[in-house]
Amino acid sequence: MKMCTSASQGIFFQCTKCGKCCSNSSEGFIFIFWEDIKKISSQLNLSYKEFAKKYLTITKYNFPIWDENLEELTAHKAMETLALDFGVDQNCIFLIENGDFKGCKVYKNRPKQCKLYPFWSIVMTSERNFRYHEKFCPGINPKNSAVPFFHPETIEKLIKIERKIEHNYYLQMKKNDFDLFRMYPFLQNLSKFRINK
């Protein structure tokens, strides 16, 4: 796997819980996959349908398609997907703010995409993107280096977890003729989504 120069030397990282990546939806979406839906809806004691109605939206993203070894990008495929519905204040609906304290209401079951940040393929394989996120996220390469060091091998494993999720999503969508409503039947008859389609 070809990582960018900065990541290929390993990085220091520890989340400072600043909440920046949980705010300002203009930075992107937090995708929600089957495993996330099951865990979070169970924690909140909601049916899939109730969970979707309250917290999810549909978006479209040009997903990368990886080879079987999750090494090489073979193509892109635009697919609809579920994402967290950020509120009007542009913050994640699960973000808890109390003075300086910022936390996540579903922390132990937070979406895989949140758990893996900043070790996303798009960040770790592009020097330009890495530099952007290094400035954005105070947890990456902080001045104080007494924080955990992530060796290149560890970063590669984390990137592969993300790629595996994307790979599986592609296969699941393909099996369902790329129809999100077939993939997630509980979305059917939810006016919130029918109007958006």
Binding residues for ligand SF4, rule CB under 6 A, total 21
Let me know: does 195 contact 93? Beta carbons within 8 Å: no
Q: Does 155 bind ligand SF4 (CB under 6 A)?
A: no
Q: Which of 70, 52, 42 is nearest to 160 (CA)?
A: 70
Q: What is the DSSP letter of 185?
A: G
Q: Which of 81, 107, 82 is nearest to 94 (CA)?
A: 107
Q: Which of 83, 86, 88, 66 is nearest to 75 (CA)?
A: 66
Q: Which one of the spans 53-61, 105-113, 149-157, 182-190 is the region binding ligand SF4 (CB under 6 A)? A: 105-113
Supply the minimum distance, in Å, between the C-beta of residue 113 and ligand SF4: 7
Q: What values do phi and psi take at 141, rounded to 5?
A: 45, 55
Supply the minimum distance, in Å, between the C-beta of residue 144 and ligand SF4: 13
User: Which of 19, 124, 156, 159: binder of ligand SF4 (CB under 6 A)?
Assistant: 19
Q: Does 32 bind ligand SF4 (CB under 6 A)?
A: no
Q: Which one of the spans 47-55, 73-81, 91-99, 183-191 is the region binding ligand SF4 (CB under 6 A)? A: 91-99
Angle at the Cα of 93 (from 169 to 170), degrees rounded to 5? 5
Q: Report which residue type is found at 120.
A: W
Q: Does 92 bind ligand SF4 (CB under 6 A)?
A: yes
Q: Does 117 bind ligand SF4 (CB under 6 A)?
A: yes
Q: Which of 144, 157, 111 is nearest to 7 (CA)?
A: 157
Let me know: does 52 contact 187? Beta carbons within 8 Å: yes
Q: Does 28 bind ligand SF4 (CB under 6 A)?
A: no
How distant, in Å, are the alpha carbons of 50, 103, 153 from that of 40? 12, 16, 30
User: Which of 8, 10, 20, 50: binder of ligand SF4 (CB under 6 A)?
Assistant: 20
Q: Which one of the spans 63-71, 133-141, 147-155, 184-192 is the region binding ligand SF4 (CB under 6 A)? A: 133-141
Supply the minimum distance, in Å, between the C-beta of residue 177 and ligand SF4: 30
Using CB under 6 A, list all residues that contact ligand SF4.
15-22, 30, 92, 94-95, 104, 106, 110-111, 114, 117, 137-139
